[in-house]
Amino acid sequence: MGIEDQATVEEPTEPPLCGQTNAPNKHLPAATKQEDRRQHHRLQSDTSRSLVDNRHPKPNPDLVNPDDEWTARAHILQVAQLAERARTDLEDGLAQAEAARRLEQDGPNKVEGAQGLSVWKIFMRQISNSLTIVLLITMVLSFAIDDYIEGGVICAVIVLNIVVGLIQDYRAEQTIMSLYALSAPTCKVIRDGQLDTIKAEELVVGDLVSLNVGDIVPADLRLVNGLNLSTDEALLTGESLPVSKHPERTLDRADVPLGDRNNMVYSASTVTRGRGTGIVTATAMATEVGKIAQLLRSTSGKSSDQTPLGLLFSRLKQAVKSILGLDGTPLQTKLSKFALLLFGLAILLAVIVFSVSKWDIDDEVLIYGICVGVAVIPESLIAVLTITMAVGTKAMASGNVIVRKLSALEAVGGVTNICSDKTGTLTQGKMITRKVWLRDGSLAVVEGSTNPVDPGSGSVVWASKDRNDEKKASMDGIHPKAALSSLAESFLHCISLCNNATVSDGKPSASDLDLVETSTTSTVPTPEWTAVGEPTEIALEVFAMRFNMGKQAVTISEGTRLLAEFPFDSSCKRMSVVYGKPGASAATVFTKGAVEVVLPLLDASEADKAMCAAQAEVLAAEGLRVLCIASKTVPLTQTLTEKREAAESKLTLLGLAGLYDPPRIETADAVRKCQRAGIQVHMLTGDHIKTATAIAHEVGILNRDMSTAEAAVAIMPASAFDILSDADIDSMERLPLVIARCSPSTKVRVVEAMHRRGAFCVMTGDGVNDSPALKKSDVGIAMGLGGSDVAKEAADMVLTDDNFASIVKAVEEGRRLFDNIQKVSEHAVNGSIYQFIANTNIPQFLLHLLVSNIAQVVLLLIGLAFKDTENDSAFPLSPLEILWVNLITSSFLALGLGLEEAQPDIMLRPPHDLRVGVFTREIIMDKMAYGFFMGALCLASFTSVAYGVGPRSFRSGSLAGNLGGGCNSGWNGSCDAVFRARATTYATLSFLLLATAWEVKHLTRSLFNMHPEIYKGPFSVFRTVWRNRFLFWAVAAGFVITFPVVYLPVVNRAVFKHESITWEWGVVVGCLVVYIALIEIWKAGKRRFGVGRVAKVEADV
């Protein structure tokens, strides 16, 4: 039945053996070394009965075989055997000199991979992309032909690109390293018989380490002794509940799974209760954590079957792909491929230039060929893209997401599936007593609690058996205890006294009574509430404190004291305490534990037991962890306090407590937002399937109206999923939405299955065991608060609040960036060849930067037909004009578009199809149209000035016009017309780019009615352009800076090779008006015929 299934997981439903050995020690002053030493001896004496033959083994070097892998078999060795092999003493530990020798021999206890920042690697990351390599080649060619101005400008662009990316990535890595610093850097070790605190990295194999509540285990240890010791191994094994340890046990098999080695504790796990001592069996990369870290750093196992030559070829191929940037995220790969295609196109254009000149390549022809090549390359693309992503990174940081790699910022915007852990991500990661059922049929439900450790958060609704008599335990100052029945009081007595958790609000001078009175008279939760102990016990204590019946309040008010305690044990799964008043002849036994364990101990009829079991099934079906609460009052005898069987017999049932880890308040809304955005949310959890299903229903991952057949596919235990072959998984209509009891290998298989379906997935994780899945997923997101260092190292992003809603914010920010990339690219590409653009699949971000590039290519290629008096081609634009437009005018406009706010429907659209690419057919058509308009108008402006005035005009069969001679290299008396035509063309190109920046803010809406839901009327265009302040001032600056470039003496003729203009401004303004009109007509046609994604979305709305 459901309760029995639930009990198969080790439930930490019982408290520590005694309060004195548990969490309160964390709040005591630090003990002296002598006091700690005495505590250590007492601890050993408590457990020495089971280890009598193991206490003082004498190190025997003859028994130590260097080749014996005893460290991997420590769990099957007796403690005495282990001490002999480790050459250590169970009381005095290692000698300091021996420890120093071993440290020198084995090295520090550090997991490699999180040891510091590598500026060199970050630097190499910046230059490992095709566009930077293309720019480097262009720079070298420019210097080779003594064109130092152009080469110097390109060199400055390369340096800017590298510096911007280097600074951003370095800051991100610094932030991650600060998270690593949260790991415990020290530990307590016994050497030469003295307890001392040392750095964890100084531990060596054979050291004797002392553990207490709250300690992070610094290495892999074989326990020598322990008192009620439990550790949280979720980061390593995925088990969400603390695991009880038994140092006295010796396992009989070497292949026992890590989670079942209950005489071992492992590095990176945390002590949740009790204390103990252990011998270090492995440090650094030899620990289980280190093995996983090593696995992450190693290459794929696929190469193991290759021949040496094949392996060499594979590595060479991978190195080339890495250098060219062809192994990154979709945007990185597309940019790299696009840069290579641009480089090929530049070479092709140069060949065309050389062919037109009949391969008579002098300096002028060579300069012109390079000029055409430069025109097709967006030199500022990397800098603009990096800065835009850096702004997005800052926005994400304010939303509690640290971006380790800029590439992850664009990648997260295209995800189709999110695979999330449950505990601490979808939920709060803390237990709360959700429901209480009493044997008289009454039921208590906790509602509206937002802080699991605050007794004053939320309210409690009591309902009688017939549910008609409801009353609310309000927090308005009326003491809730006055309204409780005697049965309810007995229930609260039991859960508070059979408990060792400590809950306080940070006011050590206040009593428990004062604390609760304060909480019940305030409507504002106290943020200082803290709790120490087992999550289950904390939840029960908080529930009791809601009625002023916490442990301290009860013991003080009733004068009762603890007489005996029978601790939780994994074999019996229950805990009992015996309380009595001084001098009294009677005592009360309080017991709590798993339902199927406590039921046989009840003094009740079979009908009553069946009713209790049925109610437990109801609570379990709601995803609650169910505990049975019972007690009895009997005469005080010595047997009662010494024998567990006597204390736990003929108990009286009080009721049931249903506990669960509540979802975060914002989770359900975040899941709904994902579903509206076409993103499937999957829950991959190590928890019980009923608990996972209930939470999935509550947060909206599962539909409550789901049929049985649908539920069978959507909900699956990992054991059922793991036995499926890849073919079976691929044949499923869709992957499960909830997978319970999930192992690390299960997560990896889910990611691989998604990839085979062409999905783009996010995987979240916190444990070391999650690292392979984080690495394999498209975007790995680690938990910053509860995550391991190895998980953070493997992840692309880190959540600083461990909140699922922050992932959704990251997706939204990624989509905003993607939209803005499209707008920016819209401004830059117009006029390209359809097939060329279609094959590159470049995003729209490039198009803004490439609009001018494509227009320039069209202009310069056709410009080959413009022959001067020396029969050389005249340049419609000079090389410096091209660089100026690409680097100065376009760059700031592109950056302004990158800062555009998100569109209102950004999370209402489905994810873009990465197989199609972000450059859709609609975008391609837009770019072709805009580019044709811009290129044609630039040609018109050049020809109207060059041929429309002067002593000569068009002559039949010739295009000599007024182009003079030798005007490409500098000014002479015959160059007036061509220099004025260049200035006009430059001004036209600049102004058209300024207009494009505002036009591409929306793909279909008119510039004059872009926000009809906000701004109306003929002057709405002014509000539209003012909405993005940065873009507004970028346009204004681009407009103003055009004039000094045209008119500044010497600079205009000597540098830009153009001349001041007068009446030609009429041509510029005319071209601008025609360009805006053409774009508005184009957009109107799209709206009229419903062309494009945005138009269709608006039509649906």
Catalytic residues: 421
CA distances from residue 360 to 355, 806, 870, 988 in whole angstroms, order as listed: 9, 62, 14, 33
Cβ–Cβ < 8 Å for 356, 863: no
Closest CA to 139 of 374, 380, 335, 386: 374
Closest CA to 901 of 807, 1014, 801: 1014
Cβ–Cβ < 8 Å for 145, 363: yes
Helix H or strand E segment including 532: strand 530-532
Residue with tokens 């053996």: 17
Closest CA to 145 of 375, 377, 370, 379: 370
Task: Label residues 778-788 b or e (16+ Cβ within 10 Å = b).
Answer: bbbbbbbebbb
Distance CA 1053, CA 1047 (A): 9
- What is the residue-wise DSSP string for 118-180? -HHHHHHHHH-SHHHHHHHHHHHHHHHTT-HHHHHHHHHHHHHHHHHHHHHHHHHHHHHHHHH
Helix H or strand E segment including 689: helix 689-699
Residue with tokens 């480089």: 343
Distance CA 1058, CA 1051 (A): 9
Distance CA 439, CA 488 (A): 10
Query: What is the C-alpha end-to-end distance of the chain, expressed in Å?
Result: 49
Phi and psi torsions of 185, nearest 5°: -90, -10
- Give the three-state DSSP class for 598: helix
Dihedral angle over CA of 219, 222, 224, 226, nearest 10: 70
Phi and psi torsions of 235, nearest 5°: -70, -20
Residue 950, Ramachandran bin (φ over 0: left; ψ between -120 and 50: alpha; else beta): left
The strand order across the sheet containing 401-403 reads 401-403, 797-799, 779-783, 761-765, 417-420, 680-684, 738-740, 715-717
Residue 744, Ramachandran bin (φ over 0: left; ψ between -120 and 50: alpha; else beta): alpha
Cβ–Cβ < 8 Å for 874, 366: no
By DSSP bridging, strand 401-403 and strand 586-594 are unpaired
- DSSP character for 249? -
Residue 87, Ramachandran bin (φ over 0: left; ψ between -120 and 50: alpha; else beta): left
Helices (H), ranges, 700-743: 708-714, 718-722, 726-731
- Give the three-state DSSP class for 922: helix
Sign of the dihedral defined by the CA atoms of residues 770, 772, 774, 776, in that order: negative
Q: What share of the chain is helix, strand, coil (3-state, %, to 5)?
A: 50, 15, 35
CA distances from residue 15 to 229, 241, 873 in whole angstroms, order as listed: 11, 13, 90
Residue with tokens 């809603």: 805
Beta bridge partners of 265: 221
Residue 597 makes CB contacts below 8 A (sequence gap 6+) with 7, 572, 573, 574, 628
Q: Is 1050 exposed, middle or buried (0-12, 13-18, 19+ CB in 10 A)?
A: exposed
Phi and psi torsions of 688, nearest 5°: -65, 150
